[in-house]
Chain A
Amino acid sequence: MPLITANNFFEPGKRYFRDFSPGDEFYEALLEAHQNLTDEQSAQLNAKLILLLANHIGDIAILREAMALAREDTE
């Protein structure tokens, strides 16, 4: 299965009436996770988060694809 780049956020058992709601909910949670951290602490949190999610995904082909897309337009 290739990397999913379509909107894919949801929470099991939760009903959404507006398409934008699940993505907004994730984004709010992400910013909350960083609340009151210094820039250095935030960078650490981001690194740990990537590692946790990478292990959850597991499929290294997918992870390589995501890393390549993230690298685009970054240099």
Chain B
Amino acid sequence: MLSTYRYPKFEYRTPPELMAPGKAGRYPVVVVGAGPVGLGTAIDLAAQGVPVLLLDNDDTVSLGSRGVCYAKRALEILDRLGCGQTMVDKGVSWQVGRTFFRDEEVYSFNLCPQPDHHRPGMINLQQYHLEERLVARAGQLPNIDLRWKNNVVSVTAGEAGATLSVETPDGFYTVTTDWLIAADGARSHIRKLLGLDIEGRVFMDRFLIADVVMQADFPPERRFWFDPPFHPGQSVLLHRQADNVWRIDFQLGWDCDPEEEKKPEKVIPRVRALLGDDRPFELEWVSVYTFQCRRMRSFRHGPVFFVGDAAHQVSPFGARGANSGFQDHDNLAWKLKLVMDGKAPDSLLDTYTEERGAAADENILNSTRSTDFITPKSRTSLLFRNAVLGLARKHAFARALVNSGRLSVPSHLTRSRLNTPDEDGFAGDMVPGAPMDDAPIAAPGGEKWLLSILGNRFQLLYFVEDAAGIDERTAATLASLAGDAVPVEAVVVARSGAAPSGLRTVHDVAGRIAERYDATPGTTYLARPDQHVAARWRVFDPVKVQRAVAVATGNAVPNLMEAA
């Protein structure tokens, strides 16, 4: 079927429970679903030392290219998981999106106009390529037990964990687990088995996806047309993927016949009209889809967590689906690890649904707004839409209103109870709860980017001009934070010099860290294990740091009087 891709067939192996029948296996964490988010979850936990049993009901990767766009933040998370580079190498990097109304360009955007970031605004990569690379990464981690053709058929959950019944080609077996993570997609079987609801809005529209193999010289940019001459009255979206595969989305409207529209004799003329010439092309994959914007009220039910599409779904305009799924496990993994290690209370896990629920609301809001712009629901909304597009040719304000998709950017978790509110003045966007900006560094280990040294533990960025000028007492205090119950690694960010006491030092070679974090000498940032700002001050005070770590981990805040 696919001319550019051969599907791998992963080997099913008889599970140990069926080799020695009668024994129910007991596991600390079971993840269900080896799609992008389930694989990301398993890798994230396993890389932090948690053994993971990962179950999938199939034995290959995503059928068809499906998800295509992976945003800067997802790539930064994949970097933290140790497989970002292979995605970037295979994918098509892009930053610019162009929007056309009829036959004229009315608006363009650049996803990452700032210089000095490691990762591009977005890459396009077929989902099967992404999954294949994630499976390879999971295979490097001995504490991931990935079982193909293992289908969960029943689940019960209570105080003591969850019990699953699993069907395999060799028969059924039972496993129990302390924690269950459902990453089994929009039609989550686990969600249904537990009788849980997901609520939201269905959009009355249909879209045709065609993956086309061809030689074309369109630049690697996103192109979106409102009402183009080659597909009048509807919208069209074009993306370049790896291996000269092009993704084309044709809006069809609600009244079309999806089975009819999938036939090559219907699809080929549509593609031909878009290309406008006789160049050869081949259809690789065709599908017709509808979509919904909806979320579960809570992403946690006792020992069960829902991540990715199982927990929340958005329209595809904005690439906020898989991208937000990676951010889910980015948020959950470190919290679960702390709770499993007895270093944080169970209540920390409730902040997963608080923080990611707020992010899901933001994604649903943006994706709903895009959809309402792309698919006007009334004559009046069509009138406004076309007036905006008409004005956009000449007027900047109208260009800003053109909404062909607000592409995935991470949420600022400003309302999280894990943040310590600012008591000092700061400019810029690196507020408590912000996903941390990248910037170039020079470091003894050869690392070139700030985010490459951040993550998987709490860290304290301490800004100075000359690292060698840090006095012994301050250096010893910074170093001692590593010995706390929740360890904090101090990182000195300097323009020059090496810090005493063997403290890790990086140089802000381009001055971008100080610029993006509004840092002056003495400025101190506390970073969470998921590269989000937990707290910041103009002056380093170890007591305030310890209080902020307690707040960020849901622990009791140490008595201030004692320290004063």
Chain A nearest CB from B425 CB (Å) reads: 14
A57 CB to closest chain B CB (Å) equals: 15
Q: How far is the CA of A30 from the CA of B383 in the complex (A)?
A: 12
* Contact of A4 with B397 in the complex, beta carbons under 8 Å: yes
For A26, what are the chain B residues with a Cβ–Cβ distance below 8 Å? 401
- List A residues 2-59 near B (Cβ within 8 Å): 4-9, 15, 17-20, 23-24, 26-28, 30-31, 34, 37, 39, 42, 46
Q: Which of B367-401 contact A (CB under 8 A)?
A: 369, 372-373, 378-381, 384, 388, 390-391, 394-397, 399-401
A4 CA to B388 CA, complexed, in Å: 16
Determine whether B223 belongs to the interface, using a CB cutoff of 8 Å to chain A. Answer: no
Interface residues in B167-221 by Cβ distance below 8 A to A read: none
| Chain B contacts with A in 328-380, Cβ cutoff 8 A | 366, 369, 372-373, 378-380
Q: Please give me the residue from chain A that is nearest to B409 by CB atom.
A: A18
Contact A23 B401 (CB under 8 A): yes
Residue B457, interface by CB 8 Å? no
B396 and A27: CB pair below 8 A? no
Q: Which residues of A contact B504 (CB under 8 A)?
A: none
Most buried by A among B388, B399, B401, B414: B401
Q: Which residues 390-430 of B have a CB within 8 angstroms of A?
A: 390-391, 394-397, 399-401, 403, 406, 409, 412, 414, 429
Q: Indicate if the CB atoms of B380 and A27 lie closer than 8 Å.
A: no
Q: A30-B384, A34-B378, A37-B380 are in contact. Are A5 and B396 (CB under 8 A)?
A: yes
Cβ-closest chain A residue relative to B376 = A31
Minimum CB–CB distance for B384 against chain A, Å: 7
CA distance A26 to B403 in the complex (A): 13
- A69 pairs with B395, CB closer than 8 A: yes
A73 at the interface (CB under 8 A from B): yes
What separation, in Å, do the CA atoms of A23 and B400 have in the docked complex? 7
How near does chain A come to B6, taking the closest CB pair, in angstroms? 40
| Docked pose: A8 CA to B409 CA in angstroms | 22
Q: Which residue of B lies closest to A5 (CB)?
A: B395
Nearest-neighbor residue (CB-CB) of A24 within chain B: B369
**A73 near B390: Cβ-Cβ < 8 Å:** yes
Known interface pairs A18-B406, A18-B409, A23-B401; A6-B396 also in contact (CB < 8 Å): yes
Choice from A8, A34, A42 contacting B397 with Cβ under 8 Å: A8
Which B residue sits closest to A41, measured CB to CB?
B380
User: Shortest Cβ distance from A33 into chain B, in angstroms?
Assistant: 10
B381 interface neighbour in A20, A24, A31, A72, Cβ under 8 Å: A31
A17 and B378 alpha carbons, distance in the complex (Å): 30
Q: How many residues of A contact B (CB 8 A)?
A: 26
Q: Which residue of B lies closest to A37 (CB)?
A: B380
Instruction: Return chain A residues, CB-CB under 8 Å to B396.
Output: 5-7
Contacts A7-B400, A19-B400 given; indicate if A27 touches B373 (C-beta within 8 A): yes
Cα(A73)–Cα(B378), bound, Å: 23
Which residues A58-75 have CB closer than 8 A to chain B? 69, 72-73
Candidates B400, B412, B429; contact of A20 at CB < 8 Å: B400
Contact A27 B429 (CB under 8 A): no
Query: Contacts A20-B406, A24-B369, A73-B390 known; A7 to B397 CB distance under 8 Å?
Result: yes
Contact at A20–B384, with CB atoms within 8 Å?
no
| A17-B429, A37-B380, A39-B379 given; A27·B397 CB < 8 A | no
Chain B: minimal CB distance from A34 (Å): 5
- A39 close to B397 (CB less than 8 A): no
Q: A24 and B366: CB pair below 8 A?
A: yes
Residues of A within 8 A of B384 (CB): 27, 30-31
What is the chain B residue whose CB lies nearest that of A42? B380
**Please, which residues of chain A bring their CB within 8 A of the CB of B409?**
18
Asked if A27 contacts B378 (CB within 8 A), the reply is no
Rounded to whole Å, the gap between the CB of A50 and the closest CB of chain B is 13
Closest Cβ of chain B: how far from A63's Cβ, in Å?
16
A5 pairs with B397, CB closer than 8 A: yes
From A19, which residue of chain B is reached at the shortest CB distance?
Answer: B400
Question: What chain A residues lie within 8 Å of B394 (beta carbons)?
Answer: 5, 69, 72
Nearest CB to that of B406 among chain A residues?
A: A20
Complex contact B403–A20 (CB within 8 A): yes
Quote the shortest CB–CB distance from A56 to chain B (angstroms). Answer: 17
Bound form: Cα–Cα A39–B369 in Å: 21
For the complex formed, measure the closest distance between the CB of A71 and the CB atoms of chain B, giving whole angstroms: 12
Given A17-B412, A34-B381, A42-B380 in contact, is the A28-B397 Cβ separation under 8 Å?
no
Residues of chain A with a CB closer than 8 A to B381's CB = 31, 34
Within the complex, what minimum Cβ distance (angstroms) separates B396 from chain A?
5
| Contacting residues, chain A, for B369 (C-beta < 8 A) | 24, 27-28
Contacts of B403 in A (CB 8 A): 20, 24, 27
Chain B's nearest CB lies how many Å from the CB of A9?
A: 8
Min Cβ gap B154→A in Å is 43
B386 CB to nearest A CB, Å: 11
- Contact between chains at A28 and B380 (CB < 8 Å): no
* Alpha-carbon gap, A17 to B381, bound state (A): 27
Name, among A4, A9, A26, A27, the residue most crowded by chain B CB atoms within 10 Å (CB to CB). Answer: A27
Given A18, A19, A31, A37, which contacts B372 in the complex, CB threshold below 8 Å?
A31
Contacts from B to A (Cβ < 8 Å): 366, 369, 372-373, 378-381, 384, 388, 390-391, 394-397, 399-401, 403, 406, 409, 412, 414, 429, 434
Can you identify 5 A-B contacts, CB atoms within 8 angstroms?
A: A6-B397, A28-B372, A30-B384, A39-B378, A42-B379
A→B interface (CB under 8 Å): 4-9, 15, 17-20, 23-24, 26-28, 30-31, 34, 37, 39, 42, 46, 69, 72-73
Q: A7-B397, A18-B409, A31-B380 are in contact. List 14 more A-B contacts (CB 8 A).
A: A4-B397, A9-B400, A15-B414, A17-B412, A20-B400, A20-B403, A20-B406, A27-B401, A31-B372, A31-B381, A34-B380, A39-B380, A42-B380, A69-B395
